[in-house]
Amino acid sequence: MRSRLVLPASADRSEKWHEARMLGITASEIAVILGLSPFESEFSLFWRKLGELPPIEDNDSMSLGRHLESWVADKFAEDHPDFALGLGGLYASAERPWQMATPDRLVRRFGAGLDPVAAWEGKTSSSYDGWGLSGTDEVPVYYRAQALWQMDTLGVRRTYLSCLFLQSKQTRHYVIDYDETDVEVMRLAALDFMDRLTKGVPPPVDGSQAARDALKHLNSHVEEGVKAVVPQSVGDEYRDAYAAFREAKQRKDAAENKVRELAGSARIVLDPDGRRVCTRSIYEMPAHHREACTVDKLNPPRSKKDI
263 close to 269: Cβ distance less than 8 angstroms: yes
> Is residue 224 one of the residues assigned to a domain?
no
Full-model pTM: 0.82
> Is residue 21 one of the residues assigned to a domain?
yes
Among residues 137, 138, 140, 97, which one has the least CA distance to residue 118?
A: 137
> Is residue 135 one of the residues assigned to a domain?
yes
> Is residue 223 one of the residues assigned to a domain?
no
Q: In this structure, which long-range contacts are made by residues 45-51, counting pairs with CB atoms below 8 Å and at least 24 apart in sequence?
A: 45/193, 46/193, 46/196, 46/197, 46/202, 46/203, 47/202, 47/214, 47/218, 48/214, 49/22, 49/197, 50/197, 50/200, 51/22
Number of domains comprising the chain: 3
DSSP code of residue 304: G
List the CATH number of the domain containing 46: 3.90.320.10
Do 140 and 287 reside in the same domain of the chain?
A: no
> Is residue 147 one of the residues assigned to a domain?
yes
Do 101 and 51 reside in the same domain of the chain?
A: yes
Task: Select from 182, 215, 248 the last residue of a domain.
Answer: 215
> Is residue 221 one of the residues assigned to a domain?
no
> Is residue 138 one of the residues assigned to a domain?
yes
Do 253 and 269 reside in the same domain of the chain?
A: no
Residue 155 CB: number of other CB atoms within 10 A? 16
Do 210 and 242 reside in the same domain of the chain?
A: no
Do 78 and 142 reside in the same domain of the chain?
A: yes
**pLDDT at site 288:** 55
Do 171 and 84 reside in the same domain of the chain?
A: yes
14-24 residue pLDDT tens: 889 989 999 99
Do 76 and 186 reside in the same domain of the chain?
A: yes
158 close to 118: Cβ distance less than 8 angstroms: yes
Our separate counts of H helices and E strands in the chain read: 8, 11
Do 304 and 168 reside in the same domain of the chain?
A: no
Q: State residue 274 phi and psi, 5-degree precision.
A: 85, 5
Do 13 and 152 reside in the same domain of the chain?
A: yes
> Is residue 220 one of the residues assigned to a domain?
no
Do 253 and 274 reside in the same domain of the chain?
A: no
Do 34 and 76 reside in the same domain of the chain?
A: yes
Structural domain including 254 reads: 229-259
Task: Select from 215, 245, 278 the last residue of a domain.
Answer: 215
> What string of pLDDT tens digits covers the 307 residues of the chain?
688 999 999 998 888 998 999 999 999 999 999 999 998 999 999 999 999 998 888 788 888 888 999 999 999 999 999 999 999 999 999 999 999 999 999 999 998 778 899 999 999 999 999 999 999 999 999 999 999 999 999 999 999 999 999 989 999 999 999 999 999 999 999 999 999 999 999 999 999 999 999 999 999 888 989 999 999 999 999 999 999 999 999 999 999 999 999 999 999 999 999 999 999 988 776 655 455 566 777 777 766 666 6
Report residue 278 CA to chain centroid gap.
26
Do 86 and 189 reside in the same domain of the chain?
A: yes
